[in-house]
Amino acid sequence: MRAIPSVLILVSVLVLSCGRATHAPAAATPSAANGYELQIGKEVFQRYCAGCHGDGGAGDGFNSFNLDPHPRDLGNPIFQKSKSNADLADAIRRGGAGVGLTSLMPPWGHTLDDRHIAAVVLYVRSLRRTS
């Protein structure tokens, strides 16, 4: 019988502490916080995207010269600023034709899961040039 009040007190403390607001620590820099995901994104990009977009995303992959229009330079600051992460993920998932662009960019939504698409978006963001 004595164990029941102790259990009730413990449960009450746990329930009450769950509702308390806690302050999350400041987020680390994106590269530090997402280093593993960034590496996954790079590997996926190299496998599926670099053939057209090039290793550095400049639109100069080995297939790019056979394509009209040429693949986009993903590191271009103007392009980077004009697209949200959701826009980039949508283009990867649905392909060029799915977002009103060229049908030469295939849709990867049946090949890549959401985690891998998000990792590619993170990697594409890392390609942004400063000038």
> What pLDDT, in 10s, does the model give residues 26-57?
333 454 557 999 999 999 999 999 999 999 99
Q: Is the pLDDT of residue 2 over 60?
A: no
pLDDT of residue 34: 77
Domains of the chain (ranges; CATH) run 31-126 (1.10.760.10)
| pLDDT band at 9; cut points 50, 70, 90 | low
Looking at residue 103, what is its pLDDT? Answer: 92
For 4, other C-beta atoms within 10 Å of its C-beta total 8
**Chain CA centroid to CA 86, Å:** 9
